[in-house]
Amino acid sequence: MMRIISYNLNGIRSAISKGWVDWLKSANPDVICLQELKASPEQIDPEPLKKLGYHLYWYPAQKKGYSGVAVFSKIEPDHVEYGCGMKKYDDEGRVLRLDFGELSVMSIYMPSGSSGELRQAFKMQWLEDFYDYIGQLKTKRARLVICGDYNICPQPIDIHNPQSNANTSGFLPAERAWVDRFLKSGFIDTFRYFNKEPHQYTWWSFRANSRTKNLGWRIDYNLVSTNLESSLKRVAILPEARHSDHCPVLLEIDY
């Protein structure tokens, strides 16, 4: 069994100051995929993480204090692939892949379009380029687990107020259509595979007491290629973990 967690930390240094390492010890994933670290490896003390048995793989953004992904794994990978080979995305530290035999686990941090038209256009271009990138990758690495912050709510059930957010970045028709197309290209949204209940969110605005009221969005998920369907065992959103404006999402697979 492999326990995989995806967690957007919104700053690893901030999360560590809120007891994140103790939480990691108790959660005890085999692999944890992190997004939005806002730091490079030398800015934290790695020893507490190494003492827990993790090998640390980082892919920070070029810009200080911005973006960045990492994968911490108790299982040593056969290969680590940093980036996706497209400079404008790799400069922002958005893709990291670890290969374990035939299985590949990716940590991805998709762009947000909420800051304005330029970034929304960047996000839409990313979606097209990422779709093509994964299509090509699947020909070589067929068994994929793609964990991360997708910055898109796939369905009305995944957002607390679909009507008022109909024209909001992260819930635009074109973005949701992309998720649908991506899933139809051969992926499973593992949380929805097991859980069809509403009010299941992974991100809450810091404003208006949103988290206490559970006014959230489900934008963090673990997608797996359809050839892994029989390996799926359990999923969970872990909202009690409060080190970020996001919470972790868990996937257990037979490995």
Of 149, 158, 189, 220, the active-site residue reads 149
User: What CATH number has the domain bearing residue 73?
Assistant: 3.60.10.10
Its domain, for residue 84, covers 2-253
Catalytic site residue 149? yes
pTM of this prediction?
0.98
Instruction: Give the tens place of pLDDT for each residue, 64-97.
Output: 999 999 999 999 999 999 999 999 999 999 999 9
Supply φ then ψ for residue 231, to 5 degrees: -90, -10
Q: Which two tokens stand for residue 17?
A: 């100051």
The dihedral sign for the CA sequence 82, 84, 90, 95: negative
Going residue by residue through the chain, which has 255 residues, state the pLDDT in tens, using 9 for 90 and above. 999 999 999 999 999 999 999 999 999 999 999 999 999 999 999 999 999 999 999 999 999 999 999 999 999 999 999 999 999 999 999 999 999 999 999 999 999 999 999 999 999 999 999 999 999 999 999 999 999 999 999 999 999 999 999 999 999 999 999 999 999 999 999 999 999 999 999 999 999 899 999 999 999 999 999 999 999 999 999 999 999 999 999 999 998
Q: What is the pLDDT of residues 181-207, one digit of tens each?
A: 999 999 999 999 999 999 999 999 999
The tally of domains found in the chain comes to 1
Query: Does residue 192 sit in helix, strand or coil?
Result: helix
Give the position of tokens 């892919």: 59
The CA distances from residue 174 to 17, 137, 234, 235, 251, in Å, are: 38, 24, 30, 27, 27
